[in-house]
Amino acid sequence: MSRSSYLFAGIFGSFAISCFALVLVPQVQLGGLQPQVDEDAGDVYPVYNPRKGREVYASEGCFYCHSQQIRDPQNGLDIERGWGARRTVARDYIYKNPTFLGNMRLGPDLTDVGTKEWRNEDINDPRKPARRDAAWHYLHLYQPTVIVHESNMPPYRYLFETRKISGQRSVDALNVATKDGYEIVPKAEARQLVAYLLSLDSTHPLKEVKGALAPAK
Amino acid sequence: MTAVAAPEIKPTTAVAIEAVPAQAAKAKVSIERATIDAAAAGPVLLFFTTAIGWLLLSTVFGFITSVKLHHPGFLADCSWLTYGRIAPAYNLTLTYGWASLAGMGVGIWLMSRLCRVSIRYPGFLVFGALLWNLGLVIGILCILAGKTSGIEGMEIPRAAAAIMFLGYVLVGLWGAILYRFRRKSPVYISVWYLLGAFFWFPWLFGVAQLLNGLPQLQGVMQSVVAAWYSQSILVLWFTAIGLAAAYYLIPKVVNTPIYSYNLATIGFWTFALFGGLTAMVRLSGGPIPAWLATVSIAASLMMLVPIATVTTNLIFTMRGHTQMVYYSPTIRFTYFGTVAFAVASVVGILTSLRSVDSIVHFTQFQAAQHQLVIYAFFSMIMFGAIYYITPRLVGCEWLSSTLIKLHFWGAAYGGGVLIAMLAFSGLAAGLAMIDPEATFTQVIGIGQVYLAGHTLAIGFVAIAHIIFALHFLLMLLRIGQPGGAPTLFAVPGEEKH
């Protein structure tokens, strides 16, 4: 073999090894993952999240600040902080496309933000709302600092519109001051996004995750 | 020539006559180089010009992004400029606009010089550069408009990525053709790295884009492919081109052969083997099989071999010539980049360890590491290369050493402070994050302290980039010192250039 052939063989070989070890083998291991079906209870986990809202989540780039992965206690305090009941594993994500795993936490993890137990405050903090419902999320999206004074989250006022009240005030109208006779209501994107956020719940027990059978209280 | 054979020539005359063919050979080499440079000038200058345009744009995006990190309300009512869109736009313009285009320009020029072949049909390279730029413009506009793939590191929509890919194929092909018709053997170290980069890039880009379009690739595997792509592109594309340029510029400008070919060989092969295996550190601790992260941690530790050998080789080549850092702009930038390479790599190894990773994983420390590679190492070497190459393409030398000096200090101090602020912010937040007493809001507040400094640093970097761009523009307009001797910071005691 000439020097050039060695060079090419090596360049190709090193790439092939990388591709094999980090892409092909994991795909063989994970590619066939199926949802967990509990025939007694008749439930299937995981299920799809609302697609439209997921697209808004992507297009606004929420995942640059919010992760969607719960790590086990030896890797951090994710569970202790109230972000989730158990660590997440590959099976949790089979219908998540994209997965929005996230590389940065400039905001809290949102894996389980749709659950009643989810919190970002201290467990005894009186500011923890009974439930982060749609109204809470709308207000928080519109002006995060109204809810968390120190928040570093940008406001998403452009996902809302100010319109004239015709007849009754809308049920979704935000509880913020505006011109007389007008109200601020979420646009379709905001509704879709909040529906998506409320669907986020990976607390369902999985047989491959030990010590996580009971959801966090 | 025939006179040499005549026996009655006196020794003194013989010396004089021997000098003539030596001079003739030297002149021949100069003419050959000039021919090669003339053929390369069009496409390479286009690569540089568009790269610098993207550099300016990315600096603007970077500034806006950095302000938003401590003043989230800044420009918040314009959906096109929301943090979740401008942050990726900043990253993508920096890596695919500035860094990749500069890298391709430098790579093609080096290939042409080192293989001693003139570029034929440079129009195809020009077309390739234009396609890449077109694809990137579409991609960035899509992201600002909210049309993103939603996969971090691969946000550019597939159609736009395909246009960029086509553009790249022409560049890669031309690189391969230059190698095929090389007139110099054995090939120099830089050519190994360039061939690697030119080959690895399209495979990484193509395979990652293709796989993420397949329905069989579900859930976490998408993140695995995205992490594999983003990390490998840093190592096998940017680092490879950066090292190719360093391996050329340092021995060339200080006028000494490289310290050791054996070290270079070890360095290259361990780099190629382990570099492509380090990617899963990015998902360490995440919902992936544990063995996957372990493989990458092991590979990261093994990266110590190429890092040590490459750095030793380059630094030892400089031994006895370190004063060149004071005289030569090219060497000053390249040397800075080489040291940054060592620092970035060692930091990369340390953070691959699980104990360190679990602290810094979700923090700005990752951004600091990215900037260490892309800016402090790669971009600085590209600046050095552009300072070296451009005069050879336009026929005049840089107008002012003061402007180069200002660029260097702005980029070095600004870039250094930028990285330090991100690193401090990440470390502080990471340490608070593992403290159960600190609420998450407090964690963020602790990390935010340093981010105003980050904005200030980008301001310095911006000034440096504007100076650099203006200086480059003057070169394009052929406004500069007369060609011949390079523009130096100071006149060295002994001319070595």
Q: How far is B125 from chain A (nearest CA, A)?
A: 23
pLDDT category at B496 given cuts 50, 70, 90 is: very low
Separation of alpha carbons B299 and B296, rounded Å: 5
Span B121-139, average pLDDT? 97
| Contact by Cβ (8 Å): B199, A15 | yes
Question: Does A89 contact B150 at a Cβ distance shorter than 8 Å?
Answer: no
Cβ contact A17–B228 (<8 Å): no
B232-279 pLDDT tens trace: 999 999 999 999 999 999 999 999 999 999 999 999 999 999 999 999
What SS3 class is residue A32? coil
Predicted pLDDT of residue B134: 98
Are A30 and B221 spatial neighbours (Cβ–Cβ below 8 Å)?
A: yes
Q: Does A47 touch chain B (CB under 8 A)?
A: no
Inter-chain touch A157–B150, beta carbons under 8 Å: no
Q: Do B273 and A106 touch (CB under 8 A)?
A: no
Closest by Cα among A180, A154, A212 to B70: A154
Q: How far is CA B125 from CA A40, B38, B192, in A?
A: 64, 14, 21
Taking the C-alpha atoms of residue A53 and residue A192, their distance in angstroms, rounded to an integer, is 4
Tokens of B239: 């680092």
Q: What mean pLDDT, rounded, does chain B reach?
A: 92
B12: pLDDT strictly greater than 70: no
Dump pLDDT digits (tens) for B401-458.
999 999 999 999 999 999 999 999 999 999 999 999 999 999 999 999 999 999 999 9
| String of DSSP letters for A33-89 | ---EEETTTTEEE--PPPHHHHHHHHHTTGGGT-------GGG-STTTTTS-SS---
Numbers of helices and strands, H then E, in chain A: 6, 4
Q: What is the pLDDT of residues B474-483, one digit of tens each?
A: 999 999 988 7
Cis peptide before A186 (omega within 30 of 0): no
Instruction: List, in order, residues 6 or more apart from A124 with CB less than 8 Å away.
Output: none
Mutating which of A4, A12, A14 best tests the B interface, going by the most B Cβ atoms within 10 A? A14
Helices (H), B354-400: 354-360, 365-371, 380-394
- Structure-block tokens of residue B297: 């941690």
Residue A172 sits at the chain B interface (C-beta within 8 Å)? no
Is A30's CB within 8 Å of B440's CB? no
The amino acid present at B72, given as its one-letter code, is: P
Residue range B65-90: mean pLDDT, rounded: 95
Question: Residue written as tokens 């702005």?
Answer: B410
CA distance B149 to B160: 11
Q: Give the DSSP per-residue string, B240-306.
A: HHHHHHHHHHHHHHHT---S-HHHHHHHHHHHHHHHTT-GGGGGTTSSS-HHHHHHHHHHHHHTHHH
For the stretch B294-315, what's the b/e string if a residue is b when 16 or more beta carbons lie within 10 angstroms of its beta carbon? ebbbebbebbebbbbbbbebbb
Task: Identify which of A55, A103, A150 has the shortest CB distance to residue B366.
Answer: A103
The answer to whether A12 contacts chain B (CB < 8 Å) is yes
Alpha carbon of A89 to those of A72, B114, B197, B220: distances in Å?
10, 50, 34, 9
Give the best residue of A6, A104, A119 to mutate against chain B (max B CB count within 10 A). Answer: A104
What pLDDT score was predicted for residue A38? 84
pLDDT band at B484 (very low <50, low <70, confident <90, very high): confident
Place of tokens 């299937």: A44
Q: How far is B157 from chain A (nearest CA, A)?
A: 12
pLDDT one-digit tens code per residue, B321-379: 888 889 999 999 999 999 999 999 999 999 999 999 999 999 999 999 999 999 999 99
Output the furthest CA–CA distance in chain A (Å, rounded): 85
CA distance B216 to A211: 31
Q: What is the pLDDT of residue A110?
A: 96
Q: Do B441 and A120 count as a contact with CB atoms less than 8 A apart?
A: yes
Angle at the Cα of B84 (from B369 to B352), degrees rounded to 5? 25
pLDDT at B6 over 70: no
- Nearest Cα to Cα of residue B419 among B378, B365, B465, B475: B365
Residue B445 is predicted with a pLDDT of 93
**Which of A14, A63, A69 lies closest to B287 in CB terms?**
A69
Q: Which residue from B87, B219, B436 is facing A99, i.e. has the nearest CB? A: B219
**ipTM surpasses cut 0.90:** yes
DSSP secondary structure letter of residue A101 = -
Q: Which residue from B152, B287, B354 is facing A103, i.e. has the nearest CB?
A: B152
Test mutation, B362, B364, B371, chain A, max A CBs within 10 A: B362
The answer, for A82 touching chain B at a CB cutoff of 8 Å, is no
Q: How far is B59 from chain A (nearest CA, A)?
A: 19
User: Is 60 exceeded by the pLDDT of residue B2?
Assistant: no
Q: For residue A94, how many C-alpha atoms fall within 13 Å in the half-sphere facing its CB?
A: 14
Of residues A31, A62, A88, nearest to B287 (C-beta): A88
Task: Identify the residue among B64, B65, B115, B220 best suited for mutation to test binding to A, counting A beta carbons within 10 A and taking the highest.
Answer: B220
Contact between chains at A22 and B295 (C-beta distance less than 8 A): yes
For residue B284, give how far its alpha carbon lies from the nearest alpha carbon of chain A (Å). 9
Residue B495's pLDDT is: 46
Residue B484 Ramachandran class (φ > 0 left, ψ -120 to 50 alpha, else beta): left
Mean pLDDT value across residues B193-212: 94
d(CA B245, CA B110): 8
A184 beta partners: A162
Q: Are A141 and A193 in contact (CB under 8 A)?
A: yes
Cβ pairs A/B, distance under 8 A: 224
How far, rounded to the nearest angstrom, does the alpha carbon of residue A35 sit from its chain's CA centroid? 19
Report CB contact under 8 Å: A90, B289.
yes
End-to-end CA distance of chain B: 30
pLDDT at B10: 42
Token pair for residue B188?
């120099």
Entry pTM = 0.93
User: Cβ of A31 under 8 Å from any chain B Cβ?
Assistant: yes
Residues of A in contact with B81 (CB under 8 A): none
Q: Which residue has the tokens 């180069």?
A: B404
- The count of other CB atoms within 10 Å of the CB of residue B78 is 11
**pLDDT greater at residue B258 or residue B7:** B258
CA distances from A2 to A7, A8, A109, B263, B422 (A): 9, 10, 54, 21, 48
Question: What residue in A sits closest to B444 (Cα-Cα)?
Answer: A106
Q: How high is the pLDDT of residue B310?
A: 97
Task: Name the residue in chain A with its Cα closest to that of B193.
Answer: A11
Q: Digits of tens for pLDDT over chain A (217 positions)?
A: 577 888 999 999 999 999 999 999 999 999 889 999 988 888 899 989 889 999 999 999 999 999 999 999 888 899 999 999 999 999 999 999 899 999 999 999 999 999 999 999 888 888 888 889 999 999 999 999 999 899 999 999 999 999 998 888 888 899 888 888 899 999 999 999 999 999 999 999 998 887 554 444 3
Interface membership of A148 toward B (CB under 8 Å)? yes
Q: Token digits for B41?
A: 């000038």
Element (H, E) at A183: strand A182-186
Judge whether A131 is closer than 8 Å to chain B, CB to CB: no
By C-alpha distance, the chain B residue nearest A13 is B273
Closest approach of chain A CAs to the CA of B285, in angstroms?
Answer: 6
Distance CA B100, CA B261 (A): 28
Half-sphere exposure of B133 (CA within 13 A, CB side): 20
Six-digit token string for B231: 């990390």
Q: Cα distance from B21 to chain A (closest Cα, Å)?
A: 32
* SS3 state at A162: strand
Which chain A residues contact residue B296 at CB under 8 A?
22
**Cβ of A24 under 8 Å from any chain B Cβ?**
no
Q: Yes or no: say if B311 and B256 are a contact pair by the CB < 8 Å rule.
A: no
Please give, rounded to a whole number of angstroms, the shortest distance from the CA of A121 to a CA of chain B.
6
Q: Which has the closest alpha carbon to A109: B370, B433, B449, B192?
A: B433
pLDDT computed for residue B140 by the predictor? 98
Q: Mean per-residue pLDDT for B113-128?
A: 94
Helix axes B189-211, B100-114, angle to 10 degrees: 140
